[in-house]
Structure 1
Amino acid sequence: MSVVPLQALPIEQLRQRSSTKWRKYGDDVLPFFVAETDYPAAPAITAVLTRAVSLGDTGYTPPDPGVATAYAGFAARRFGWQIDPARVRTTCDVMMAIVEVLRHAIRPGDRVVVTPPVYPPFFECVPEAGGVVERVPLVDLGTSWELDLAGIEAALAGGARAVLLCNPHNPTGTVHSRETLAALADIAARFDAVVISDEIHAPLTNRGATFTPFLDASPVAARVGYAVVSASKAFNLAGLKCALIVTADDATSKIVRSLPDEVEWRTGHFGALAAVAAFSEESDPWLDAQLAALDENRVLLADLLAEHVPAARYRIPDAGFLAWVDLSALGWGDNPAVKIRREAAVAFHLGPYFGDEGKGHVRINFGCSPDLLAEAVRRVGSLV
């Protein structure tokens, strides 16, 4: 049975929001930079938060808010992944979770592999945890990207102690295969290193792709890995602050249990309530409708670019609502988003923030209405 795509809210209503996407720039600028979507909240989330506000239920997060059990059910339904809720802890957000795990997995000064172009905070969280970033860029195959396993192996052989994985990858939307993830786990095990997998975009994997949780890629991956997940990207809950650290082995579970209680206290109460609602079976139809809308938009963007910005190079992503677009052929410099914002009043994310591989690129958030996306690309096209 076909799924009716979710409809984005009208821009007049969106401009009443007070989040970063709608307040960083003036009303003349169309915002496509930060990873916030324009859809109405899932009904189950609206209901649970409305009830909490009406009750004045705004206190501390309880010891077991039910998020671990809810996520275990979600992972089983959506990914076929069986996890033990007892091996899950919550915290404030994904980046904080990564920092806390890294602090216990490496020693000060140890090198940590990142795979650019990649989510900009990766470059910041490693030194926050006491580590040093070691860049091993993705391999560009011309039609897709993949991990440079040989490069990662060389980095670990040279003394790097951890790999910070983006799975699915931001900004390219790459969904790493089970075989690639298992091979990465084998390499990490060979050098007694760990893999921390940021899987925040996993619920947004398109129907044509198959997401493999890193911890489920192989028995070795379960032993060497940590997964960090959240409902925040798929359900637009970034401001509510709730993420989960998942393990699948006694040794890694022991490390996560040893994290200070304060790590768990940082979980937002509203974030926990919303996450339970998001991960419930009741929210599955809403998520499916959003995926249908994103599937249409990722293809629409290709058509729009071909018509209005034919020199742009864009590969339709396997997951997420973020498009990685190469505009270097236009000659607009290393950071074309600056020209586009100033001259076309469209705000895309700055490509160089994702690493040197992002020069000449922009990242476009297509989690919006088709009309808004079309207007943005037409504005860019007027500069060509």
Structure 2
Amino acid sequence: MTEGRSDGTGGDPHRSPREGGRTDPLVRLSLEQLRQRSSTKWRAHPADVLPLWVAEMDVPLAPAVAETLHRAVELGDTGYPHGTAYAEALAGFAATRWGWDGLRVEHTTVVPDVMLGAVEILRLITGPGDTVVVCSPVYPPFYAFVEHSGRKIVEARLGPDLRIDLDNLERAFRLARQRGRRAALLLSNPHNPTGAVHTRAELEAVAALAREHGVRVVADEIHAPLVLPGAFFTPFLSVPGAENGFALTSASKAWNLAGLKAAVAMAGTEAAADLRRMPEEVSHGPSHFGILAHTAALRDGTDWLDDVLRGLDANRTLLGELVAEHLPGVKYLPPQGTYLAWLDCTHLGLHDDRPSEGPGTVGELAGPARVFLDEARVALSSGHIFGTGGAGCVRLNFATSPAILREALARMGRALDGLGPGAIHS
């Protein structure tokens, strides 16, 4: 395959440097450079595998983040975190980016990461044996973290359009609230893995339904800065009826900071007292470097983010063209947000629909994901780990260079051609 050229275009004539010397961060690093990384994405599989699975982006650090971390190292600033600068930066970003000036710093707390923060909030508002509703297929750790905390999962399956189905959601709420037990909805906003960006009307309907049934909402908004052209992000806490809800976010996904742990938990006006009950030791988990990096990203890294979003938008279009060319039997609904594409491969007949094929761990493979790894040497996330509705699908991370994307899809197409018509692999 063609690796990244020294001009930063990744060998793609459509990706030339823009005015002012700014380039798409997704074409800055060659495959050789990426393989020097020691993170999960690049070390979990052998070197001949193209990794398009876990949610890491193939980009260099945003300059504002790099400068902040370099400065901290020079100063030996490696102590304990202090202050509310992170929440203040998030409030400023929310006001500028989403037109939401309702984020009150006094109604926030810093947590180690979004999932750990979500679990701690669920512990505040539900008890062991209570139910947490999720809209499947959905981010696999929703299942693992919730069940590990002693809560039960009830699924409200997405509709055929891969958006929230209010009828399914209401049925799940009724089931969750049986015998008067407390219940919560763990909402992915934007939705992972489908990339759907919930509209204000959809979120208002969810809030109203949750109010009606006495269900508290906890919104995972980690992908909020990654909304692509054609859609607009609405913070859950900004809609009427969400005053007793919670939301969590960080700069982790949008600025590729997963290894620098820090996130912000936010409470609606009616939920602030609940958030104040968060055990103090939870706030000891975030890294000082993490807080510095996330604060710098939100405050000073928006130009870099805009460059990334333009590159992701182009890759989203390119992926559609490549799926049509190499995987004509696969359904691809372009995501409105995130850098994750949900590919419906059920028509290929490579999966097993047995009930045992349920949620699993992040690295577990079955069906088409197993075939594409074994036969094409392309690593994708297996759809079955995302719960009901995931079997026969794969999640593909397109936050990489166009050159890598082209090579991966070409490999996948050749692998299917090699299987021959009617081949079943499970």
TM-score bracket for this pair, using the shorter chain length: over 0.9
- Distance in 2, Cα, partners of 1:224 & 1:180: 17
Work out whether residues 62 and 255 of structure 2, in 8 Å CA contact, stay in contact via their aligned partners in 1. yes
1:367 equivalent to 2:399? Answer: yes
- Match status 1:110 vs 2:142: no
Paired with 1:269 and 1:4, the residues of 2 have a C-alpha distance of: 30
CA offsets per residue over residues 23-69 of structure 1, 9 Å max, x none?
1011111101100000111100000111112222222222x151010
2:201 maps to which of 169, 174, 179:
179
- Matching residue of 1:149: 166
Match of 1:301 in 2: 319
Instruction: Tell me if 1:311 matches 2:333.
Output: no
Q: Is the 8 A contact 1:6 1:292 kept in 2?
A: no
Hey, what's the Cα distance between the residues in 2 that align with 1:122 and 1:271?
23
**1:1-384 map, 5 Å:** 5-8=24-27, 9-62=29-82, 64-82=83-101, 83-141=103-161, 145-160=162-177, 161-218=183-240, 220-221=241-242, 223-249=243-269, 251-280=270-299, 282-334=300-352, 335-384=367-416
Query: Which amino acid in 2 is paired with 1:285?
Result: D
2:12 match:
none
Shift of 1:177: 1.0
Q: Secondary structure of 1:40's partner? A: coil
> Which amino acid counterpart does residue 306 of structure 2 have in structure 1?
D
Amino acid in structure 1 at the alignment position of 2:383: G
2: CA distance between counterparts of 1:306 and 1:150?
Answer: 33
Contact 2:189 2:219 (C-alpha < 8 Å) held by counterparts:
yes
Does the aligned pair in 2 maintain the 1:100–1:129 contact within 8 Å?
A: no
Q: Which amino acid aligns with 2:62?
A: A
| Runs (5+) with no aligned partner, structure 1 | none
Over the residues paired in the alignment, what is the CA RMSD in angstroms?
Answer: 1.5
Give the Cα separation in 2 of the matches to 1:153 and 1:348: 32
Letter in 1 for 2:174: A
Residue 247 of structure 2: SS of its match in structure 1?
A: strand
Identical amino acids, percent of aligned pairs:
47
Cα distance, 1:383–1:270 mapped onto 2, change above 3 Å: same
Distance 1:364 1:267 in 2: 29
In the TM superposition, residue 215 of structure 1 has moved relative to its aligned partner by: 0.5
Higher helix share: 1
Rounded Cα–Cα distance in structure 2 between residues aligned with 1:342 and 1:158: 41
Would you say the 8 A contact 1:193–1:224 is kept in 2? no
Q: Give the Cα–Cα distance (whole angstroms) in 1 for the partners of residues 327 and 168 of structure 2.
A: 34
Bigger radius of gyration: 2
For 1:126 and 1:149, locate their aligned partners in 2 and report how far apart those are by CA, in whole Å. Answer: 22
Deviations 1:140-188 (A, max 9, x none): 13xxx22121222222233431111000000000011111111111111
Aligned 8 A contact 2:124 2:274 in 1: yes
Range 326-335 or range 208-217, more displaced: 326-335
Tell me if structure 2 keeps the 8 A contact 1:188–1:224: no
CA contact (8 A) 1:103 1:130 kept: no
Would the aligned equivalents of 1:185 and 1:224 in 2 still touch at CA under 8 Å? Answer: no
Give secondary structure in 2 for the equivalent of 1:310: coil
- The range that moved more, 322-331 or 294-303, is 322-331
Residue 4 of structure 1 deviates from its aligned partner by 5.4
Shift of 1:258: 1.3
Query: For 1:269 and 1:194, how far apart are their aligned partners in 2?
Result: 31
Separation in structure 2 between the aligned mates of residue 54 and residue 190 of structure 1, nearest angstrom: 54
Question: What is the rounded CA distance, in whole Å, between the counterparts of 1:19 and 1:205 in structure 2?
Answer: 25
The number of equivalent residue pairs is 376
Structure 2 unaligned regions, length at least 5: 1-17, 178-182, 353-366, 417-426
